[in-house]
């Protein structure tokens, strides 16, 4: 389905169910069938507090139903934070953070992090003269090769 068709589908099928759910939650509090400070009451209050964000997919075409993509992107950073406790020095932790950033940027740009880092080391002189060509997204397009050839012609 296209984004507009998916939005119409969600509005037709999910919209009424969610409207009914919201009414039911509000009735639970109005009829005092749920203690607001109980675990269930806190969960229901959370749903009501975040209702607009939780139901955004009913009003915005192409809005995701979940945040799994964002959660996966944060997972590596959370693991780095946890593992950083075991670095011997603050400088070592900083180097680890830089490497994680490079590796993740390579992954997002479809570049082999190993090949990229090896190319940086092998062509460090060229990379210093033309660092923009060695950014992972430019590396994926072959700009370091062009930069190395240009430096070779200039020499």
Domain boundaries, the chain: 3-58, 68-154
Cα 139-141-146 angle, rounded to 5 deg: 75
Judge whether residue 152 has pLDDT over 80. Answer: no
pLDDT digit string, tens, across residues 27-86: 999 999 999 999 999 999 999 999 999 999 999 999 998 889 888 888 888 888 887 788
CA distance 110 to 140: 7
pTM above the 0.75 mark? no
Reply yes or no on whether the pLDDT at 111 is more than 70: yes
């Amino acid at each position: 389905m296209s984004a507009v068709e998916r939005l119409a589908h969600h509005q037709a099928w999910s919209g009424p169910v969610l409207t009914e759910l919201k009414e039911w939650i509000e009735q639970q509090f109005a009829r005092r069938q749920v203690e607001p400070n109980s675990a269930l009451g806190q969960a229901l209050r959370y749903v009501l507090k975040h209702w607009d964000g939780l139901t955004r997919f009913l009003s915005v075409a192409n809005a995701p139903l979940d945040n799994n993509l964002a959660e996966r992107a944060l997972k590596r950073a959370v693991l780095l934070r946890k593992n950083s406790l075991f670095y011997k020095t603050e400088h070592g932790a900083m180097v680890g953070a830089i490497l994680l950033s490079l590796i993740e940027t390579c992954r997002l740009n479809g570049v082999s992090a190993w090949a990229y880092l090896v190319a940086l080391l092998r062509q460090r002189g060229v990379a210093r003269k033309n660092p923009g060509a060695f950014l992972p997204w430019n590396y994926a397009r072959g700009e370091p090769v062009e930069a190395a050839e240009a430096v070779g012609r200039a020499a």
